[in-house]
Structure 1
């Protein structure tokens, strides 16, 4: 199954790249919450929805671009949770830090996750207790988290994120010799999973489709994904807000 999901993510990513590279004209719109959406988001969504429905017709799908089935997903033990283009702002900035996210949720936990980074042609996947990266040359590499005496803290690139400076200050006091980098999208989870960075604190809300696939990958690689009260991030009891609490991804 995960190989088929990986192929779906690649097909969607290829369509996104046609617009990113301007071989298809870019169209930009605003959602009701004023966040941007493009025809790349919508094309990717259409492809993933069509292929997932063909592959698993009995499993409902919740997508950032189609929330009509959210109650059915809430009431089912198993559903797909997708973000057809995570990091639309990064897509528009042309910095390459956007992803295609597909996760399978079972009893509130992400049990399978695929994150594809189209610009770099890198794919991360987790399933059945195994996690790997397929690099741009097509080589499959097993990955896991790694500690460092000079840890790297990865944080969102978005200028619209207002970090709680008091919480951030207290968080950073627990670390030594750290460096902060800013990266967009669920790519942050994947960098922790492969051992390139060690910590990802998030003090503001996210949507559940922003995190599920990356969560599966980071967790399977050995990371802990908890809210600030120490509870594992979960996808049970979803409601119309689709919000996650603040959380941290760390090595313990």
Structure 2
């Protein structure tokens, strides 16, 4: 059990996500210049601007908790091992979707302790939405006007699961084979951590991922999902943990009740 007071940390993470969204939308409204990282993935000035404000908020709230953030890791490298407690930040999850201007990108902020995400915030800039949680039963959706609504996962409907998948993995043969063991009513495509939000608020039931991701891609959505009554596991059913070598994830299944 954590000895932290998570309430002020959650408030700081929400404010960070809101300010990061403003930075992102400012860039989104104009011409988007695209650069490449070492791994050839795209990056824009919005990634850096969002990260800067998030780091400022988190360091002010908890100066002793280390932060692993995607763009900072690109510049400075990753730590050799995970701390017992650390922040994971993806300041702009879904940069490809941002460049395409389809709105399917998020701001992801999570706090990990003992290999588990104990706090998560997912912001959806174009909708002005914030999804946030810090423990069982705390998952909520904050609307653009500040109204907060509790959310929870749903039991899988008798007619079958609504399955979320990434645009780049929607026709993966391995994914198709995995879903052969499930009763599927519908398959929907979405970018970034939006898939976790859909399962957490009970409009979808399953988000399987075959290919690798980084821990900052999943930790915030994972925290939200668990707080809403769902779960996330490795493809073999074992618990999904954080602080792995290189902070790289294997495939996983995220699901509701």
Whole-Å separation in 2 of the counterparts to 1:124 and 1:80: 17
Unaligned runs of 5+ in 2: 1-7
Q: Residues 1-252 of structure 1: matches in 2 within 5 Å?
A: 1=8, 2-22=10-30, 25-67=31-73, 68=76, 70-71=78-79, 74-129=81-136, 130-147=138-155, 148-150=157-159, 151-158=161-168, 161=169, 164-165=172-173, 167-236=174-243, 238-240=244-246, 242-252=247-257
Secondary structure in 2 matching 1:71: coil
TM-score, normalised to structure 1's length? 0.91
Unaligned runs of 5+ in 1: none
Secondary structure in 1 matching 2:71: coil
The root-mean-square deviation of aligned C-alpha atoms, in Å, is: 1.7
TM-score, normalised to structure 2's length? 0.90
Whole-Å separation in 2 of the counterparts to 1:186 and 1:247: 14
CA deviations over 1:157-190 (Å, ceiling 9, x no partner)? 13xx48641x323322233351111000011101
Q: Structure 1 residues 34, 177: CA separation in 2 closer, same or farther (over 3 Å shift)?
A: closer
CA deviations over 1:192-233 (Å, ceiling 9, x no partner)? 000011010101111110000000001111111001111121
Whole-Å separation in 2 of the counterparts to 1:123 and 1:156: 20
| CA shift for structure 1 position 14 | 0.5
Whole-Å separation in 2 of the counterparts to 1:228 and 1:239: 18
Secondary structure in 2 matching 1:50: helix
